[in-house]
Chains A and B, each alone.
Chain A
C-alpha cells in the first residue's frame, strides 16, 4: 500500500496568466493519498487550467508542485505520466480512426514493435478489476461516450497512474453510465488510487468525494471535508452569492404552428444516420426544449433545420411551406435565426463588432444599397444593437475576438433576435458563460417567446431546459424518446429517457 501520510499532490502558489485573463491566482491545493478529491467551481473558475498545469500541458507562471512529497517540474504530459499522474480530459484525447488497442499503447515507451499481445492481456485485467469493459479492436469513433471514457481511464492506468484526474467526467454520460463511472472510481480509490474529480455539479461532489476544494475566479475559496458541509454552503462558495435566479414565465397564448418536422433522417459527417425518424411541431410563442446527452443527433438536427446539413429523408415545414434542403440563405430570408452551439461558427473573430452584426443583413437595405455597403447604416445598426443588448465593447470597430465569451454571445443573440425571427434555434446558448451572461441570455429567450417567436432550445443543461421550456423532447441515439409538457416532466423521467427509455404520451 502507498504511504498515506504524505499528500499525493501538493500545489503551492500556482499562478497562470493567459492574455487578458488571470486563470489561476496563487492557488494552493493538497490532495491526500487514496482520497477522492472534488474540484468544484463554475465554468471559467480555473479548475481545468490548474489540472492542466499538474498534467504538464500548461506551464505555471509561478508556484511549486510536489508529488508524493517530492518537488517536481512537470514540463509535459510525459513528465506527469512518469510521476504517476493520469488525466482524462473532457474532450477525449483519442485518435478517432484508430483502434482501442492502438490508442492505449500510443506514446508508451518500450520496444520498437507494436506490443499487441501484452496490451490485450492488460485490457482484460482492467476489465475484471475495475469493470472497465471495452472491445480492444473497435475503432474509437464506433464507441459510445461512456466506452470512450473507459478507454481513457484504461490508458491512464496502463501507464501506471496512481493519481487520476477526471475533468468533468459525467458531462457526456447517461445517468446509467454515470452510475458505472462512480462505482469504478470508488473501486480505484479502494485499491489505493488517488482521484481528482473536476465538476461543477453539487450532486456529484456528495455522491463520490471525500474532500472538496472550491475554486472561484481563479482562486481557492475553501477546502472542506465533504461529510462536514452541505449543498447550500458549497453553492454559495462556488458562485459567491445565492444561486437562485428565477425567471418569470408569463403565460403566452400559443399561436399557429410555425415549424413542423416529419420523419426526419439525417446523416452525420461520418455518413451514419445520426437522426432517425424525428417528428415534432413547434408553435409561435412556445419554447420546445430538446434535452439529451451530447452526440445523440441534436447537432445534426439543428444544422439541418438551419439549412447547413442536408436531409436524407423526411420533411421540414415552416408555416406550412416545405423548406426541406433549402439553402441557408433561403431560410434566413424566411426569418429562421440560429444561435449555433459553437460560437466560432456564428462569428468572424477578426472582423469588427459592427461587421459581425451585419453578417446576415449585409445584402439588404439599408445596410446595402445596390452593391455598395453603407458604412453609416452599418454604424448606426451596430450602435443600436450594442446599446439595446448591452454588449460591452470598447467600440463598434473593435475586432470581435477581443470581447469576452459572454459579450460575443450577446452580440450573436442581438443579431439573431433583433430582426423579429419567426423561428429561433438556440443550441447550447449559455454553455461556458458566467452567471450574469447566462441569466441575461435566458431572459432574452423568454422575451422572444413572449413576442411570439417559436423557439427551439437545445441544451445539455437540464436546469436550463426545465426553466425555459413549455414542452421538453428528449433525444437518444437519433430518436426522440418522447415529448412532455414541462409540468409533467421531472428529472427522473427525463433521466430515464436520456438513457434510452421510450416514454409515449
Chain B
C-alpha cells in the first residue's frame, strides 16, 4: 500500500517504516510505501500506479515536482 501522509502523520509512524518516503516540494506531505496498516492518513493508494497518477496529475504535479526547466536546467 502507498499512503499519502502529512508530516505529522509521517512522524508518528516513521520508526515503523523500512523505506524512506517521497516528499513533496515543501516537505509538508509524503507518499510512504508500507504493507501494513496505517491508521492516520490522508489518502491510500493500493498500487504504485495510483500513487504515480496522483503525484503526476495536472492538479498536483506542481506541489510534487520541479518543472522540466527547473529540474534539467537545459
Question: Do A and B assemble together?
Answer: no
